[in-house]
Structure 1
């Protein structure tokens, strides 16, 4: 029985696992090519190549991806459709987003770094 108090003392020293309140699973489809990346914010993490920038952008719009549109890009009329999808939670609230853009430039203008995988 003396091992039980030792185990309890060791367990008390290990911080509890806390699931991030803000996380998304992002997907980008270009023709037959498909990319997927998890993104966590607060704390920043996941496999997104620009996680810090994406989380900062999402923070500015309270996690509402539709609110990211800047309209500050001059894009060509090239048609190379890109379909994007995000599902997850932002600060505990469920968030969903799905859209199709005519090309990469328009997608970046409308969603910033979030889908820049």
Structure 2
């Protein structure tokens, strides 16, 4: 049995891992194609290629994706449905978002950089 001081010394040098209070699993479905990524905020990170920009956008709407909008967009009337989903937490509070858009342009106009991966 290891002496207690040795265990305390080992525990002191092992890094502590904490789960970020703001993290999401994001998915995009186009026809039969699926894309997934993981996003963490505070600090920005995860696998999302635009994590810092997305976290900044989410900060402005308290992590509520339904509040995002980039304003007016000039989108075609092309019908190529895109389904998106976000599930996770924002500053410790559970958040879920699901939506279907007629095409990628409309999706990006309504959700900004969140599903642009």
TM-score normalized by the length of structure 2:
0.91
Which residue pairs with 1:77 in the alignment?
77
1:46 Cα deviation after fit: 1.4
Name the residue aligned to 1:98.
Answer: 98
- Unmatched runs of 5 consecutive residues or more in structure 2: none
Structure 1 unmatched ranges of 5 or more: none
Task: Return the offset for 1:2.
Answer: 7.4
Partner of 2:57: 57
- Cα distance in 1 for partners of 2:42, 2:2 equals 40
After superposition, the C-alpha distances for 1:6-65 in whole angstroms (9 at most, x for unaligned) are: 331231233421110001110000001000111111122211121111111111111000
Moved over 6 A (4+): none
Partner of 1:18: 18
Aligned length, in residue pairs: 117
* 1:70 positional shift: 2.5
Q: How far apart are the structure 2 equivalents of 1:72 and 1:63?
A: 21
Q: Distance in 1 between matches of 2:2 and 2:69?
A: 62
Normalised to the residue count of structure 1, the TM-score between the two structures is 0.91
Q: Secondary structure at the match of 1:96?
A: strand
RMSD (Å), alpha carbons: 1.5
